[in-house]
Amino acid sequence: MDVFVARQPIFDRNKHIYAYELLFRTGMSNVFPDLDGETATSSLLSSSFFTIGIEQISGRRRVYINFTEDLLLRGTPAMFPAGKIMVEVLEDVTPSADVIQSCKELVSKGYELALDDFIFTEQWRPLVAIAKVIKIDFRLTGMEEIEEIVKKVKQYPCRLLAEKIETYGEFKQARDMGFSYFQGYFFAKPEVLKNKDIPSSQLTLLQLITEVSRTEFEIAPLEKLINQDVSVSFKLLKYLNSALFYRVQPISSIRQAIAFLGERGIRQFVSLVATSKLSENKPTELIRTSIIRARILELMAEDLHKNNSSDYFMLGLFSLIDAMLDNEMDYLLNQLPLTKSVKNALGKRHGSMFPFLRSIELYEAGNWSEFEDVLSDIGLDPVKYPAFYLDSVGWADNYK
């Protein structure tokens, strides 16, 4: 059975990664005609822990996993390490005496509970008392109701997680209300959307990206630019002397590094490092997501025998540049020497390359039905996509 697993980040109040929620799909049909929640979760657990390896998909962080009523009653979560998973109790679970007892037993063994899409009723009170996290959907729940829930659960030691937070305004609002954790794509959107001058430090990085992206590739000018930036030089040498590369003799100069990586490799690496530095004051997940996107789009292009896979890499890498610099995408694209196809995909969201970007956006969101349609338009075998995604996740986590 083909298993599609994606992850969505969960942040703390400082916008640091706290955990990931795993999103699951088996097969590539538009609906789940014969797949109930129990089968879905069982397949996800089997895939994550036994096939993929939970460390690869989780980046060594805790993962939130949905458990159905039957799985809770059977004690299925206890098959997996308590420190690795958050047992997420779905909103359609009936908080019966048996369910409450099963959850208490899990907590006594060191497991932590999260109550999903929570709406407060008296029958949920025993589970609220032992839950670690209560998740409230900001799209499905009205603000007055959210405020009431917050008041009612204050007497308990649980923490609140705001789901579907899509803007920084919503993030700040939820934080002010007392929420501790936040889930949604607010981190991938600009905090301020207005044309403003790019700070000189960031402009220098954009100039470095410009130089390394030129068609006329010359080692000497590039070597000089890299040598002038201690951070880029350090990361380059550290990267090439890491366990990822087996070398008898260490690489000790920038010129050696450029020669070893080659034209394409050095362009890619410098673009990664410079883009990473552009987002230093942002959540680390922003650059991690950009790197994942860059890698997966490159792999897709190579699989389809595109002769410009490096353009697809740049498409993914700069897909969140507006959030990194808190500026309009169109304004920023004017500062970068990207191809017309890449600019059309990023700025106008159309053209031959846009479906590739759209596919990873849909995969990240777990929008499987639309994802299937886009892959069909691209002509990519969907069975290959999960392997591309996991390769990209591991690549990004190792890079960071």
CATH of the domain at 143: 3.20.20.450
Same domain for 132 and 168, yes or no, is yes
> Which has more pLDDT, 303 or 207?
303
Tell me if 7 is assigned to some domain: yes
Torsional sign, CA 72, 77, 82, 86: negative
- pLDDT score for 334: 85
Same domain for 93 and 210, yes or no, is no
Domain that includes residue 178, residue range? 3-187
How many distinct structural domains can be found in the chain?
2
Same domain for 89 and 171, yes or no, is yes
Torsional sign, CA 316, 262, 279, 197: negative
Query: Tens digit of pLDDT for each residue in 172-223?
Result: 999 999 999 999 999 998 886 555 566 666 776 776 776 676 656 677 777 8
Q: What is the CATH number of the domain that holds 235?
A: 1.10.3210.10
**Phi and psi, residue 113, nearest 5°:** -110, 145
- pLDDT score for 325: 85
DSSP 244-300: TS--SS---SHHHHHHHHHHHHHHHHHHHHHHHHHTTTS-HHHHHHHHHHHHHHHHH
Residue reference for tokens 């934080």: 175
- The whole-number average pLDDT for the span 13-37 is 67
- The whole-number average pLDDT for the span 235-241 is 78
Q: Is the pTM of this model over 0.85?
A: no
- pLDDT score for 227: 77
Same domain for 181 and 233, yes or no, is no
The number of angstroms, rounded, from the C-alpha of 277 to the middle of its chain's C-alpha atoms is: 18
- pLDDT score for 370: 92
Tell me if 10 is assigned to some domain: yes
Answer yes or no: is pLDDT of 36 > 80. Answer: no
Return the closest-CA partner of residue 130 out of 105, 167, 147.
105
Q: How confident is the model at residue 31 (pLDDT cuts 50, 70, 90)?
A: very low
Tell me if 240 is assigned to some domain: yes
Answer yes or no: is pLDDT of 51 > 60. Answer: no
